[in-house]
Structure 1
């Protein structure tokens, strides 16, 4: 099993496009949007916090995790299915389930490495404080990754190949980024949209991260949204997943 994980990790590191979107893009956006002086001013709608201390780190982390779950994971698995790799593995002692597990492990490590990189660089270069509520950060990451990876597995289950997986990932991620307050901050949304965003997984994940970063426990509603999403999408993915 370890050899399969190492092999998948080497293949992952050779995919420069995926590495760019998982590591360079969120980190670059964090640095670019973190440089203007305006993001260092406390805002009443953020409870006196600055965007640099709350919105930016949580938003960029959410983007990085969403890219891993909705693009990198489905792209690899749908490519293996299209190329017949999963079908051929069913006739060997290795089995396709181990390849699926290896992909989950590699993408999980990539997501966590992106988070650690942004925390370290953000603190060193921009002076972004470290997350202040570590149990909340742990709960947000565990449930957030479970929810987003379940969505990624569901995309993998229904996509016919890497192209359709990418299209489905885009259809999921870009509207989700709107509800998460990436394009328009949530306090500027109409009440109906703002309330609806609490029940979307990427928004619930970003809000939970923001709470943990600023020192408060995540909202139970957001954690429940993530848990329900993980359960429903995981169940659907298991029922619909095809090895060939």
Structure 2
């Protein structure tokens, strides 16, 4: 008479891990919502800036230099990118670096919940916040200033997702490079200002001199700005712009994975 071997306990273990991951996500959501500063800079500030610019009369006038478009039409994609930059480069790196500096990630590595669950929760939270900021900016641009919705919605969505992926990958790399929260804040501020310029916050990419615009096109947010603008105008984003964003995302993700340390 043979005795059946007990079934492996992989299913309960998987269910337990999934439950633990959901608990981590819920905890991080609560902590995120308790930070009004981060919520303001990610969700509100880009739209406030867009509104201020939209109230300038000359920015609402059609000009021949912009092929009959208005300056405010160009600044909606810029506001969309600004929310992403705030989320990925200003908000996320100090949080994760602070967790590592306080030993939270190291202690989690001794529990059934792996530190990667915390990293995934932070990436998901800031990614959703960036997309929410984009939706708010587009809604205010449309309702407040008559900016047309994207003429190529699928292309716009693709460019939007690639831009979010690139900024979160860059934020993860900053977390990997910075060993302390203070160092993370300093490095993030420098990269943040540089990315704001390439995204066209001060000068729209389309209005830059030819040489400068050519250089900016090879940056993730310069490419994203042009891709979003092209999709907003009804065309499919150029494969060059999409390729630049995809290449940056892949390269930076690889570097972040190789350099990131849990303690």
TM-score for both structures, normalised by structure 1: 0.95
Pairing 1:9–2:34 present = no
Tell me the CA shift for residue 188 of structure 1.
4.6
Q: Which has the higher contact order (CA 8 A, sep 6+)?
A: 1
Pairing 1:137–2:163 present = no
Tell me the CA shift for residue 122 of structure 1.
2.3
Alpha-carbon distance between aligned partners in 2 of 1:188 and 1:15, rounded to the nearest angstrom: 36
CA deviation string 1:105-147 (max 9, x = no partner): 1111111111111122222222222222111111111211111
Given the alignment, which residue of 18, 22, 30 partners 2:42? 22
CA deviation string 1:179-224 (max 9, x = no partner): 3322223355333211101101111111111112221111211111
CA RMSD across the alignment: 1.4
Unaligned runs of 5+ in 1: none
Given the alignment, which residue of 165, 190, 199 partners 1:180? 199
Structure possessing the higher radius of gyration over alpha carbons: 2
Tell me the CA shift for residue 52 of structure 1.
1.9
TM-score for both structures, normalised by structure 2: 0.88
Unaligned runs of 5+ in 2: 1-20
Count matched residues.
243
Tell me the CA shift for residue 71 of structure 1.
1.4
Contact 1:179 1:193 in 2 (8 A): no
Alpha-carbon distance between aligned partners in 1 of 2:262 and 2:66, rounded to the nearest angstrom: 47
Pairing 1:35–2:55 present = yes
Alpha-carbon distance between aligned partners in 2 of 1:99 and 1:142, rounded to the nearest angstrom: 21
Alpha-carbon distance between aligned partners in 2 of 1:172 and 1:240, rounded to the nearest angstrom: 18
Given the alignment, which residue of 79, 83, 86 partners 1:67? 86
Alpha-carbon distance between aligned partners in 1 of 2:69 and 2:235, rounded to the nearest angstrom: 12
